[in-house]
């Protein structure tokens, strides 16, 4: 039985795990994201300790971005132009690969989470789906035709442009690049900026949630019209508010207004827009799934 390593490389914390599936994890560790030097060294040390006793077949890394994912690029495997202090131009893939001497699968944190949900969770058996996380930012990944979404770079679903009714919502948006893009209007910092309250402090009947559901639905409609996903999986801290998801579903139906005339949207939207099954484990489990793919030639 092969054993793999998985790294969820987040902007706030790193999670590393060793195992082969959600119910076969041998070890797990989590530590705050500090400097690249220190954080990557702790990551490597965790796996090296295991390698002194046992064999790791491969490592998967799902990382915050933006990333260079072009296999032929000299900077393949780098975190590139991130605003996160000290992390721009960090060769995370190469350092881990050289130190541990095993194949390394590498993708965005959200594509890793998407792969996790496809392997063991809410996207099992689907060819084309979206995984969207709504927290301190909005990030999206997923698959089209059974493969993770790549292309010129990787999706940046948080930066969709959506209608913004300034009369109803004069808040100017929190995105430092685009102001009132999707993330700028609907991620955690926008809730904080608009309502002066963190998402977890706003009561379920606060008007914040009606507006939040509206913006999230606008973003989802754009994803539906572009990718035609078979399912949309929503995760992240903001989605913890239980009243939100049913409102998002209703808003999506209202915005589409019957145009996409399929039962999945018209009748079974509760199974179409869903929470993840792996919860906040999707990232690190997905990283293990990335590692498995490295050894299976997918």
264: contact with a second copy by CB under 8 A: yes
| Two structure tokens written together for 259 | 């145009």
State the CB neighbour count (10 A cutoff) for residue 161.
14
229: contact with a second copy by CB under 8 A: yes
The distance from CA 268 to its chain's CA centroid, rounded to whole angstroms, is 24
122: contact with a second copy by CB under 8 A: no
150: contact with a second copy by CB under 8 A: yes
Name the one range near a second copy by CB under 8 A: 140-148, 239-247, 275-283, 288-296: 140-148
| Two structure tokens written together for 149 | 């979404």
153: contact with a second copy by CB under 8 A: yes
Q: What would the x/- binding string for a second copy be over residues 79 to 98, using CB under 8 A? A: -xx-----------------
Q: How far is the CB of 232 from a second copy (least distance, A)?
A: 10
257: contact with a second copy by CB under 8 A: yes
Cα R_g (the chain), whole angstroms: 19
CA geometry: angle 159, 105, 279, nearest 5 deg? 60
Q: How far is the CB of 128 from a second copy (least distance, A)?
A: 3
* Among candidate residues 109, 94, 194, 87, the one with its CA nearest the CA of residue 156: 109
In contact, 16 and 284? CB cutoff 8 Å: yes
Q: Which residues bind a second copy (CB under 8 A)?
A: 66, 80-81, 127-129, 140, 144-147, 149-164, 177-178, 180, 218, 221-230, 255-262, 264-265
């Amino acid at each position: 039985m092969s054993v793999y390593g998985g790294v969820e490389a987040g902007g706030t914390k790193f999670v590393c795990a060793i195992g082969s599936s959600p119910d076969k994890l041998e070890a797990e560790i989590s530590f705050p994201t500090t400097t690249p030097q220190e954080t990557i060294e702790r990551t490597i040390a965790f796996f090296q300790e295991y390698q002194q006793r046992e064999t790791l077949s491969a490592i998967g890394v799902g990382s915050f971005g933006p990333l260079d994912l072009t296999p032929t690029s000299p900077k393949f495997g780098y975190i590139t132009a991130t605003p996160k202090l000290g992390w721009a131009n960090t060769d995370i893939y190469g350092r881990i690969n050289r130190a541990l001497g095993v194949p390394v699968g590498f993708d965005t944190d959200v594509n890793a989470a998407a792969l996790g949900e496809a392997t063991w969770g809410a996207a099992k058996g689907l060819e084309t789906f979206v995984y969207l996380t709504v927290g301190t930012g909005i990030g999206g990944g997923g698959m089209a035709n059974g493969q993770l979404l790549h292309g010129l770079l990787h999706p940046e679903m948080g930066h969709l442009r959506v209608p913004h009714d300034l009369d109803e919502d004069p808040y100017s948006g929190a995105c430092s690049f685009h102001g009132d893009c999707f993330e700028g209007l609907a991620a955690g910092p926008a809730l904080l900026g608009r309502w002066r309250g963190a998402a977890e402090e706003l009561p379920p009947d606060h008007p914040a949630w009606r507006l939040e559901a509206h913006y999230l639905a606008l973003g989802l409609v754009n994803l539906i019209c572009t990718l035609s996903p078979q399912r949309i999986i929503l995760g992240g801290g903001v989605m913890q508010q239980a009243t939100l998801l049913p409102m998002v579903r209703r808003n999506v139906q209202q915005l589409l207004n019957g145009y996409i005339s399929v039962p999945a949207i018209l009748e079974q939207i509760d199974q179409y827009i869903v929470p993840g099954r792996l919860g906040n484990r999707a990232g690190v489990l997905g990283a293990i799934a990335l590692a498995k793919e490295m050894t299976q030639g997918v």
